[in-house]
Structure 1
Amino acid sequence: MGIWGGFALWFQFPGGLAAKVAAVLVWCVPSIWAIRAGFGPVRRWHSLAVFGVLFVVMLIWWATITPQQDRVWADDVAQPLRAHIEGDRLVIDNVRDFQWRTEDDYDVRWQRREYDLSQVQSVDMVLSYWMGPTIAHTLVSFGFADGQQLVFSLEIRKEKTESFSALGGFFRKFEAVLVASDERDIVRVRSNVRGEDVYLYRLQGLSPDKMRALLQVYVDRAQQLEQEPRFYNTLTSNCTTVVFELMRSIVPGLPMDYRLLLSGYLADYAEDIGGLTPGVPFARLQQLGYINPRALRAGDAADFSQQIREGVPGIAVKGNAP
C-alpha cells in the first residue's frame, strides 16, 4: 500500500519535479511508521491507524482523477476517431495518414474516408516488437475488395510533452484512444522509421459476417471512447487485451491465456486456437510474416499494403505461393 501510494503520487501529484519528490517523501513517513509498527516486536496500533486513515484519504484523492478529452495532445493522437455506419457504408472522420520522414519530422494528415462493409474480405493481425520478444504492439487490419486496408490500434493518448511509460500506464498517466489509420502510416512508421520488428499474420476462420461484426465492434468502441474517455492500463486495458475483448464479443469462448499479457507471444496463442493459416508450421508463418525487408523496399509506394503481404501464407497476392 505504501509503495502503491508512492507511485500514485509520483505520477499524479500536481506540480513539477520538486513537488512530486516532496509529496513522495512526506508519504514515506507514515508508510515507514506503519511497516515498523506492523512487523516490530510490539505492534503500535495507533501508527497503523494513522496510516490507514491517510490511505483512505489517498484513495479519495485517487478517485477524483478522471480521464479527460481536452489536453494538448501529441500530433499523432490529437484527433479522436469518429465513425458512423449507414447501411453498408462506413464513414470515418480522422483516419490518420501521416507522411513520416523521422519520428519528429512528418506531415500531419487526417482524412475522411468511406468503406463498403459488404466488401470486407480479410482481417490481419500485425505485431510490432519494440521492447524485446515478450512485448509487442497489436494492430488489426481490415482488407476490402477494392484494395483498401483500414488499421485499428489502441494507443496511449500522450500529451505533447509526454513520452510512454509502461509503469505510468498502471497509474492513470495516459488516456486511451482508438486510432484508425492507413497502413502506409501506422505500419510503416514502425517498420521503416522506428526500426521495430513487424510481423503480419492472416487470421483464419472468420466468415464475412464475423469480419463485418468485428469492424462494427471497433466502431462501437470508438464511439464509446469519444463519449466516455477511459484510461489506458498497461495490464488490463492495453492494445492486446482490448483486441481480445472485442474478438471475444463475436467469437464467444476464446480462452484466457498468459500470452494475452505477454503480447509478444500473441501469434503463438492465435496458432494454438486455430486462428492462423492451417498446414504451415508456426516457425514458417513467423519467418514469412516478417515484413520489414518488404516494407523498406516498398517505402511510400501506393501498393505498400500489397508489397508487405507478398509471400505471407494464406494471402492470395502476387508473389505468394498457392
Structure 2
Amino acid sequence: MLGVIGWGALALHFELPGPRPLVVVVIAVWVLIGAAALIAPWQVRRGSPRQSRRARVALAIRLMFTLTLVVLVSWWQSLEPRNDRDWAPDVARQLSVERDGDRVTLHNVRDFEWQTPATAIPRWETREYDLSRLDSVDMIVSYWMGPAIAHTLVSFGFTDGRHLTFSVEIRRERNEAFSISGGFFKQFELNLIAADENDILRLRSNVRGEEVYLYRVGLSPEARRELFLAYLEEASRLRRAPEFYNTLTSNCTTIVFDMVDRIVSGLPRDIRLILSGYLPEYVYDIGGLDTSHPLEFLRERGHINPRARQIPYTAGSEAFSRAIRDGVPAADGEILHASSP
C-alpha cells in the first residue's frame, strides 16, 4: 500500500499537467485517500458494538481508494511518447538515414560549438560515410555523479581519420532539466544523437568538467559494421515510434547492450550494465578490451581530459580526436565477433 501510494504521488508530481498549486492539491487528496485506506482496517475493533458500522466505513474507504487507483492507472497508461514537443535545442532534431550499399548519408549530425554547458552555436550537418572504411569502435564513459553513474557513448572511426559518436540521450523539452527520478516516470522521451567528437565529447570533458575515459573495443569488422547499422536502425525506429526514456530499463547503456547482444552471442547479464560507471570492468572481463594490460592501466591511458583541454575548438578538425587517443592501447585482437546468421 505504501509503495502504491508513493508511486501515485510521484507519477502525479512528474506528469500531471496544470498549475503547480492544483497539482499539489491533487497529490494531497491522493495521499489522504491512500492513508485513510491504509489506516481504516485498524479502526475496526473486535467485540465493539460499533464494529459493523466501522467495517462498512473501512470497506467504503477501500473501495474509494481502489476506484481512485483505477482512474490514476488509466490516466498513466494513456500517456504516450511524442516527437512533436518544444524540444531543447541540442536534442531538437532526430537523426535520419539514407543508405545505398556501403554508402550512408546521415542528416542532422550534431556539431555544436559549446561555450557553456547551456549555450552553444548550433550546427546540424549532413554527412556521408563509407562502411567499407569503418576501422574502429571506441567506448567512452563519462562520469557525472560518482563512480557508479556514468554516461556511455560509442564512437566509430574511419580510415580517413573521421570519427562519429552515437549517444542515447534523454529528449528534454525546452527549459527542462534531467532528473534521475523523473526518468522512472515518463518525464522524457528517448533520442539517438549522432555527433562530431568536437561537440559531444568536448562538451563533457572541457565544458561540463566531467571525467571522461576512452577505451578501444575489440570488434571484428563484421561486428563493427553490424553495430553501426544497428545504431542507424535504432534512430529510424525512434523516428517512426517515439519511446520514453527509463532510468533503469531504457537508458544510454541498456539500449547499447541490447544492440550488441543481437550481434555478439553469449553476452552475460550483469549488474554493471545498470551501474554503468562499472561498465569498463564488465567489457574487460568479457575480453572486449586489451587484456594484455591491467584495467587500471587502460583507465589511466584512456583518461582524455588532460589531452582534450589542450586542443582548441576548430570546426571540421580531427585534431581533437587524434589527441584524445594518444597513448590509448588498441584492443588485443578482434575478440568479439558477429554471430552467424
TM-score, normalised relative to structure 2: 0.90
Is 2:217–2:331's contact at 8 Å kept on the other side of the alignment?
Answer: no
**Corresponding position of 1:306:** 322
2:36 is the alignment partner of 1:33: yes
**Corresponding position of 2:296:** 283
2:70 is the alignment partner of 1:67: no
Question: Paired residue for 1:296, among 309, 320, 325?
Answer: 309
**Structure-1 separation of matches of 2:99 and 2:150:** 31
Q: Secondary structure at the match of 2:253?
A: helix
CA distance 1:49–1:147, shift in 2 (3 Å): same
AA matched with 1:164:
F
**Corresponding position of 2:199:** 185
Q: Secondary structure at the match of 1:113?
A: strand
Is 2:288–2:331's contact at 8 Å kept on the other side of the alignment?
Answer: no
CA distance 1:39–1:190, shift in 2 (3 Å): farther
Q: CA deviation at 1:48?
A: 2.2
**Corresponding position of 2:338:** none
**Corresponding position of 1:227:** 240
Q: Unaligned regions of 5+ residues in structure 2, if any?
A: 46-54, 333-341
Q: After alignment, is 19-28 or 162-171 more displaced? A: 19-28
2:83 is the alignment partner of 1:89: no
Query: Could you give the per-residue CA deviations for residues 102-146 of structure 1, whole angstroms, max 9, x where no partner exists?
Result: 123311000000000011111100000011111000000011111
Q: CA deviation at 1:281?
A: 0.1
Mapping for residues 145-184 of structure 1, pairs under 5 Å: 145-184=159-198
Query: Could you give the per-residue CA deviations for residues 277-301 of structure 1, whole angstroms, max 9, x where no partner exists?
Result: 1211011111111000000011325
Question: Paired residue for 2:229, among 181, 206, 216?
Answer: 216
Q: Secondary structure at the match of 2:260?
A: helix
**Corresponding position of 2:11:** 8
Is 1:125–1:140's contact at 8 Å kept on the other side of the alignment?
Answer: yes
Q: CA deviation at 1:22?
A: 1.1
Q: CA deviation at 1:101?
A: 1.4
Query: Could you give the per-residue CA deviations for residues 168-195 of structure 1, whole angstroms, max 9, x where no partner exists?
Result: 0000000000000000000000000000
Is 2:290–2:331's contact at 8 Å kept on the other side of the alignment?
Answer: no
Deviation beyond 6 Å, 4+ runs, structure 1? none
Q: Secondary structure at the match of 2:157?
A: strand
Q: CA deviation at 1:15?
A: 1.2
Question: Paired residue for 1:144, among 158, 165, 169?
Answer: 158
**Structure-2 separation of matches of 1:95 and 1:79:** 9
Q: Secondary structure at the match of 2:140?
A: strand
AA matched with 1:225:
L
TM-score, normalised relative to structure 1: 0.95
**Corresponding position of 1:319:** none
Is 1:84–1:219's contact at 8 Å kept on the other side of the alignment?
Answer: no
**Structure-2 separation of matches of 1:259 and 1:220:** 25
Q: Unaligned regions of 5+ residues in structure 1, if any?
A: 317-322
Q: What is the CA RMSD across the aligned residues, in angstroms? A: 1.4
**Structure-2 separation of matches of 1:114 and 1:94:** 12
CA distance 1:30–1:136, shift in 2 (3 Å): same
Q: Determine what percentage of the aligned residue pairs are the same residue.
A: 50
Is 1:157–1:174's contact at 8 Å kept on the other side of the alignment?
Answer: yes
AA matched with 1:33:
A
Q: After alignment, is 165-174 or 46-55 more displaced? A: 46-55
**Structure-1 separation of matches of 2:106 and 2:40:** 58
**Corresponding position of 2:273:** 260
Question: How many residues are paired up?
Answer: 315
**Corresponding position of 1:320:** none
